[in-house]
Amino acid sequence: MDSPAGRLQRAPEGFIDRDGVRTVFRQARESRRDFLRSAFAAAAAGAAAPAALGQANPLPAEGGDPNILQLPEHSKGLGLPVATEGYGKPSKYEVNVQRRPSPGLTQTAQASVSFAPLQSLFGIVTPAGLHFERHHQGWWDVDPSKHRLMVNGSDPSLLKRPMVFAMDELMRLPSVSRFHFIECGANTGMEWGNVAVPTVQYTHGMLSCSEFTGVPLRVLFDLAGVDYKRARYVLAEGADGSSMTRTIPMEMVESGEVLVAYGQNGEMLRPENGYPLRLVVPGVQGVSWVKYLRRLEVGDQPYGTKDEVIHYVDLMPDGRHRQYTSIQEVKSVVTTPSGGQVLLDRGFYNISGLAWSGRARIKRVDVSVDGGRSWRQARLEGPVLPKCLTRFNVDWVWDGKPAVVQSRATDETGHVQPTYRQLRAVRGTRSIYHNNAIQSWLVQESGEVKNVQLS
């Protein structure tokens, strides 16, 4: 996501998904009205208004609504028959939980992106249908019976046996399943200079996490007889029209982490995510996770392809570009409360969010509600896996006053997520990629939550 994000910094208004945000506000306001109505009704009937926490309806004996003991239709009648469509869908009440593209961000819907609704997700796994999408030249539903993966060397002496695998041949090989996050290097790229987008879906939604199943690439290279002493680089190539090509350092392959994957959350990859085969490069920015993977070449130097020397480079304050900065550094974000949401009343809230690092496991997450003046350690929910999303939670009682909510992650290698001030001191403000700064959400007195940056 290079030029689109650049364009966005100049025209943030085109990016705001007003419908999506409005829906969140509307729903929250409506349920707030319902809550207030029932509280007033209870008070009028002589009972104390329910406390903000757990607004349980009072029993009729306590002056509550007598209808509350009436059984609803679904407790009395016959339910629906076994679903006729064999593949299940979410409840119709969850229709607002959608991936969202950003109107005006890109000129075509083929070279574009849709963001995952992080604000609506629990735990660490992204349902396949909500996985963010990034395509440089549109997506395809590739026929797996015709798909092939070729393994070759830039020079015949680097690899003894060039090979071509069909999908069923790959799927006979020993497989592993591992949980990893994938984050586009341009995630949060719109926010380098200033606040640009309203919700966590747009600030951080080029992020997803799945259990991937596939064959360690090392297994294929062993079969092909790679000369690991001399072949220190791998070129990965996709079969779509974008000719996506990236150099992967051989150490990553030798560690056994890089997978040639066909499975995602227990089923085959979705077409949007590279069906039937994609590269999984844990901890590395999304662009190296080549989809529709058709060729792997080993070589004795980095390839310097268009997707690594012109695109996906970091513009530094001195005007030079950094290349091959592929690791996604330690990062976190609070997903509730987050921009566009509304806190209904003062009282108890569970602050919840996600933390991740391309280097290791998450070691701790600290949360602040006063813009970074004081911090409290959050609970990390298991499992806490390397190069994977980690869910964190912390209790909070909101006193109704403006609050700035932030999270700061530390990984097992000791890297700590920077503030915007720290990050900009090194990287400047004109980059696109690898923004891992601490995110701030302002909870206003009205309860409405806004994306802000502290200077």
Ligand X SMILES: Nc1nc2c(c(=O)[nH]1)N[C@H]1C(S)=C(S)[C@@H](COP(=O)(O)O)O[C@H]1N2
- Which residues in this chain contact ligand X in the complex, by CB under 6 A? 131-136, 184, 238, 240, 242, 244, 272-274, 286-287, 289-292
Residue with smaller CB distance to Mo ion, 47 or 111: 111
Which one of Mo ion, ligand X, none interacts with residue 135, CB within 5 to 8 A by kind?
Answer: ligand X
CB of residue 134 to Mo ion, shortest distance in Å: 5
Beta-bridge mates of residue 210: 180
Which one of ligand X, Mo ion, none interacts with residue 180, CB within 5 to 8 A by kind?
Answer: none
CB of residue 136 to Mo ion, shortest distance in Å: 9
Contact positions with Mo ion (CB under 5 A) in 262-321: 286-287
End-to-end CA distance of the chain: 26
CB of residue 183 to Mo ion, shortest distance in Å: 8
Which one of Mo ion, ligand X, none interacts with residue 192, CB within 5 to 8 A by kind?
Answer: none
**Torsion angle, alpha carbons of 249, 260, 361, 116, to 10:** 110
Which one of Mo ion, ligand X, none interacts with residue 424, CB within 5 to 8 A by kind?
Answer: none
d(CA 395, CA 223): 52
How far apart, in Å, are the Cα atoms of 68 and each of 50, 56, 57, 174, 375? 16, 11, 8, 57, 43
Contact 166, 151 (CB under 8 A): no
CB of residue 435 to ligand X, shortest distance in Å: 14
Residue with smaller CB distance to ligand X, 240 or 329: 240
CA angle centred on 116, ends 437 and 100, rounded to 5°:
115
CB of residue 333 to ligand X, shortest distance in Å: 17
Binding-site size for Mo ion (CB under 5 A) equals 4
Which one of Mo ion, ligand X, none interacts with residue 427, CB within 5 to 8 A by kind?
Answer: none
Residue with smaller CB distance to ligand X, 159 or 277: 277
Binding status of residue 184 toward Mo ion by CB under 5 A: yes
Which one of Mo ion, ligand X, none interacts with residue 262, CB within 5 to 8 A by kind?
Answer: none
Helix, strand, coil shares of the chain as percentages rounded to 5? 25, 30, 50
Which one of Mo ion, ligand X, none interacts with residue 339, CB within 5 to 8 A by kind?
Answer: none
CB of residue 427 to ligand X, shortest distance in Å: 20
CB of residue 156 to ligand X, shortest distance in Å: 26
Q: Where are the beta strands (DSSP E) in 187-327?
A: 207-216, 233-238, 245-249, 259-264, 267-268, 278-280, 293-299, 314-315, 321-322
Contact 390, 381 (CB under 8 A): yes
CB of residue 214 to ligand X, shortest distance in Å: 14
Q: Output the six-digit token pair for 187.
A: 């995630």
Residue with smaller CB distance to ligand X, 151 or 244: 244
Among 134, 180, 361, 391, binds Mo ion (CB under 5 A): 134
Residue with smaller CB distance to ligand X, 199 or 264: 264
Query: Which residue is closest to Mo ion by CB?
Result: 184
Residue with smaller CB distance to Mo ion, 199 or 288: 288
Q: For CA atoms 394, 283, 292, 15, give the dihedral sign.
A: positive
d(CA 126, CA 194): 28
Place of tokens 């000369």: 227
Within 13 A of 64's CA, how many CA atoms are on the CB side?
A: 14
Binding site for Mo ion (CB under 5 A): 134, 184, 286-287
